[in-house]
Amino acid sequence: MHISLPPAPAVYLLLASLPLLVLSETKSIYIGHCLLKPISSLAFLAGPLLLALNEPTPYRQLITWGLFFSLIGDILLIPLRSDYAKQNKDGANQEVSISVSFQAGIGAFAAAHIAYILAFLQDAQTISWPVFGSMAILSLLAAKWLGVLYPKASTEDSSSSLMSSNVLNLSVPDDMRHLVFVYTLIISCMVGAAASTTPVLQLPSGLSMQGQRALGAVMFVISDVFVAKDAFSKKSADKGGYFWLKAAVGWGLYFWGQMVLAGTVAGI
């Protein structure tokens, strides 16, 4: 199965920067996190941006806006050095604390997903609204089951009462619950739009445009589960064991998912 990706320099850039980002996170190297995360984001933005500027089409422009807002979100989600040290201190019992910058980052990613939704709907021969609704509802139900939606922050151990609907043992602060719900609703609609639209445009070869858009959307959604676990988990951040694997999978899904979406603007 051939997947269309951005130009080779962008692919090579991500192949180089992403392992270094995972290594920096595993070793708690703050400067590496600050530098390598935006560089990895530029890898998925550069190719589509050049195409959107030189050969603009509505689809290219909307996808590029989505990638641009994602870059902004990545930068906003970089914690302060003091917060980073607290997050990465072994054995620390973390309290859930969400910064203003993190909330703004969620807003930037919400804008990215809205841009993707508009792109998918704009480039659609047909839209299956039953598929759209089904995929969006399934995504919301999965979020509720995992504990992304509505688990209240509490100093008490409420795992027994939330076991059936809080698999990740998350604790979302009260002032974040509405923002998280709106974001989850938007990203669920993005998955629904990717799966339910039959594109007018087609890729030159390989995986179909619809298949590639759906693949990128699903990879993005799964990567957000890792973000939610890191942001809202009450457990300590253990850097031992297989932390490197969790970082590699979470960020790999996110950055390569974005590359898959970026690749849909090539050759059309």
If you search the block for the tokens 């979470």, which residue do you land on?
250
- Per-residue pLDDT of 148-165, as tens digits, reads 987 765 444 444 444 457
Q: What is the pLDDT of residue 267?
A: 58
How many residues in the chain?
268
Task: Report the candidate in 209, 207, 157, 149 with the shortest Cα–Cα distance to residue 180.
Answer: 149
- Per-residue pLDDT of 190-229, as tens digits, reads 999 999 999 998 887 777 899 999 999 999 999 999 999 8
Name the β-bridge partners of 152: 172
| Contacts of residue 140, Cβ cutoff 8 Å, sequence gap at least 6 | 149, 184, 185, 188
Name the β-bridge partners of 198: 126
| Contacts of residue 159, Cβ cutoff 8 Å, sequence gap at least 6 | 166, 169
Q: In the predicted model, what is the mean pLDDT of residues 238-257?
A: 85
The mean pLDDT of the chain is: 87
Q: In the predicted model, what is the mean pLDDT of residues 250-257?
A: 97
| Contacts of residue 78, Cβ cutoff 8 Å, sequence gap at least 6 | 33, 34, 37, 101
Q: What is the pLDDT of residue 268?
A: 59
Q: What is the pLDDT of residue 162?
A: 41
Per domain, the residue ranges of the chain are: 8-265
Contact call for residues 59 and 123 (beta carbons, < 8 A) = yes
**Hey, how many other C-beta atoms are within 10 angstroms of the C-beta on 191?**
23
- How far CA 35 is from CA of 30, 65, 134, in Å, comes to 9, 22, 40
| Contacts of residue 19, Cβ cutoff 8 Å, sequence gap at least 6 | 248
- Per-residue pLDDT of 61-86, as tens digits, reads 999 999 999 999 999 999 887 766 66
Q: What is the pLDDT of residue 174?
A: 85
Percent of the chain with pLDDT over 90: 62
- How far CA 6 is from CA of 49, 101, 211, in Å, comes to 10, 30, 17
pTM of the predicted model as reported, rounded to 2 decimal places: 0.89
